[in-house]
Structure 1
Amino acid sequence: MDDAIPLLVCDDSSMARKQLIRSLPANWPLRISQAEDGRRGLELIRQGQGRIVLLDLTMPEMNGFDVLAQIRDEGLPAEVIVISGDVQQEAIRRAKELGARAFLRKPVDAAELAGALLALGMEPAAARPGAQEPQHLLPSVSFRDAFRELSNIAMGRAAELLGRVLKVFIRLPVPNVNLLEAAELQMTLADAQGNHRVSAICQGYIGGGIAGEALLIFHDSAIADVAGLLDSELDSSSHPELLLDLAAIITGACLSGLSEQLGIQLSLGHPLLLGQHCTIDELIRLNRPRWQQTLAVEISYALEDHDIHFDLMLLFTEDSVARLQQRVEMLHDLQDHRP
């Protein structure tokens, strides 16, 4: 493998890395390395293990934008293909401005990946049988990591839609996925509130043996700023309408993205404005009977250049976990790991 091209897969999700490695053209002359965050990815690139880099944007430690900037500033010999769930037009523009040779959406299409590699000058005819990385080096994937990656892709689709509506860039986090008892959920919701008063929209969903509730939490202080971005005048009568409109965009797009990936149809119930201007403690008191044990996906959105933050929590019932795990394993050939 002396003539193999060093290719680095840099993504915090083991499921994403596994999918990317499996999507690489068979028998191409590649020597594959992996990194779980941008900082480690840069180290490997400096060591010559990333002549070609498949780079995620949303990562801990150092995100993909920072990695691209550092590659450019240091003049490192790396050709970067960004493969991301953040598909906002501004994210694509920034990545290419920083030097990315191509931008592909997650989950990656194998034909599109092969085309991007060909555009870098790779020659499949030069491949030798056995040059591909052995299958036993594929990363193991837990259910929690897999579901975090599915949520990451769904989150990106919701951000792309919301960003177009508000004409802003949405900064995206790595989603948190945890199985929580009622008390732990209360602490998580309290962290989302901080010292602020909040308004929350709750919308139930069900389908394919899966059920839960989406909880969208806004700090009351940010509502007027969001109305300003929409050129809307805010009064007591329009406040609930604005919240419900935003919930329809964010929750609808996110659950649609999850439904598509899981191969199920989730039906959404009517959104409810829970305890307007209430505290988290009041919110928990009203809903505690429904939240005894929950698979919780937490996504904290932030609008760049605006002091606007809000949190989306997808709360799956305990009975849904086994069905979700079954769907994930069926779709992605994962080992049996409990969250």
Structure 2
Amino acid sequence: MHTTSLLICDDSNLARKQLLRALPAGWPVAVTQVETGGAALERIRQGGIDVLILDLTMPGMDGYQVLAALRREQLTCKAIVVSADVQDEAVRRVLELGALAFIRKPAEPLHLYQTLASLGLLNEQTALATRADGETIDFRDALREVVNIAMGRAAALLARVLGVFIQLPIPNVNLLEVSELHMALADAARGDRLTAVCQGYIGGGIAGEALLLFHDSEVADMARLLRRQDHHEIEMLLDLSSLLISACLSGIADQIDVAFSQGHPQVLGQHAPIEELIRLNRLRWKRTLAVEISYSLEGHDIHFDLLLLFTEDSLDLLSRKLAYLMN
């Protein structure tokens, strides 16, 4: 029986582990794993790769660029995209670039099995049973991948509301003192004045605040996209914040099996320099687990930053919730 040569390309250890677990146990396959698009391309150029399972959002060369290079260089392998970016436009683009299938993260074993079977990669004797993998994953990588999946779902919702393609980043995960948080926020501000919307959340002993930063110079453009010029801009920002924060928290909650209750979104500062926002909130932030997501809207000079600030008290329980994903 032919052994399939499979290349998995994803910068997340957790994502690669979840993929390995989802592969049919009886499938005769030799797996190679790489973390970057550039490394994947180099390996495919060497020959012998039958199937590529490819992430989209990666540092350096992303999945779109890998697919474009495969087409340009006429390199032959069957490409399957497995991504958290589930925007309709993302799916359309990867299929147009030559990918044979798109699977949303985390890959469900049945969906992956059906996809592999539809591409003629499994025989009739290959069972659905999945395989085990013993690699351990650290907390930060696990949380980054969980947030990556959640932000992809949130972006798909936002893309439908705004009618644009959302360019997704790799989320940053850091444990920060208040002085370090100040620097992170100052960097997000890029010298601009901000309006910041804050919404508290709690569930299963995990609590924190979501902070959405809007650059004042971009608010009018956002209002035009939403066709909301006749409404007060703060009302618009509160609505948008509630949609984006709720979708992102819901995506996290689904994966770690909690239910978050959310407070009402509040405006922390309108047209305020970042130093004023920090001064007003210095006492309640203290030390925090900060997850930063910077969204950009393709074709528009619009960027906004979402920070999920988990309380220090939440870290132990959050670690336990992530443990079943990591081990």
Same-fold status (TM-score > 0.5):
yes
Specify the SS of the correspondent of 1:7. Answer: strand
Quote how far apart the aligned CAs of 1:123 are. 2.9
Task: Provide TM-score, normalisation by structure 1.
Answer: 0.93
Identity %: 56
Q: Deviations over 1:121-153 (max 9, x none)?
A: 12335779xxx99845x4x31110000000000
Are the structure 2 counterparts of residues 327 and 73 from structure 1 closer, same or farther at C-alpha, using a change threshold of 3 Å?
same
The question of whether the paired residues in 1 share the 8 Å contact of 2:24 and 2:131 is answered with no
Q: Which runs of no fewer than 5 residues in structure 2 stay unpaired?
A: none
- Corresponding letter in the other structure for 1:38: G
Quote how far apart the aligned CAs of 1:27 are. 2.1
Q: Which runs of no fewer than 5 residues in structure 1 stay unpaired?
A: 335-339
* 1:75-224 alignment, distance < 5 Å: 75-125=74-124, 135=133, 138=135, 140-224=136-220
- Corresponding letter in the other structure for 2:178: A
- The equivalent of 1:337 in structure 2 is none
Specify the SS of the correspondent of 1:124. Answer: coil
The alignment status of 1:249 with 2:240, answered yes or no, reads: no
Are the structure 2 counterparts of residues 127 and 49 from structure 1 closer, same or farther at C-alpha, using a change threshold of 3 Å?
farther
- The equivalent of 2:256 in structure 1 is 262
- The equivalent of 2:311 in structure 1 is 317
Quote how far apart the aligned CAs of 1:192 are. 0.2
- The equivalent of 1:28 in structure 2 is 27
- Corresponding letter in the other structure for 2:101: A
Q: How many equivalent pairs are there?
A: 325
- Corresponding letter in the other structure for 2:5: P
The question of whether the paired residues in 2 share the 8 Å contact of 1:28 and 1:126 is answered with no
Please give the root-mean-square deviation of Cα atoms over the aligned residues, in Å. 1.7
Are the structure 2 counterparts of residues 61 and 12 from structure 1 closer, same or farther at C-alpha, using a change threshold of 3 Å?
same
The question of whether the paired residues in 1 share the 8 Å contact of 2:24 and 2:126 is answered with no
Specify the SS of the correspondent of 2:40. Answer: helix
Q: Deviations over 1:146-171 (max 9, x none)?
A: 00000000000110011100000000
Inter-partner Cα distance in structure 1 for 2:122 and 2:194:
56
Are the structure 2 counterparts of residues 27 and 119 from structure 1 closer, same or farther at C-alpha, using a change threshold of 3 Å?
same
Quote how far apart the aligned CAs of 1:234 are. 5.4
Q: Deviations over 1:263-284 (max 9, x none)?
A: 0000000110011111110000
Are the structure 2 counterparts of residues 117 and 53 from structure 1 closer, same or farther at C-alpha, using a change threshold of 3 Å?
same
Q: Deviations over 1:68-94 (max 9, x none)?
A: 101111111110111100000000000
- Corresponding letter in the other structure for 2:51: I
Inter-partner Cα distance in structure 2 for 1:7 and 1:282:
52
Inter-partner Cα distance in structure 1 for 2:115 and 2:263:
41
Inter-partner Cα distance in structure 2 for 1:152 and 1:285:
30
The question of whether the paired residues in 1 share the 8 Å contact of 2:17 and 2:133 is answered with no
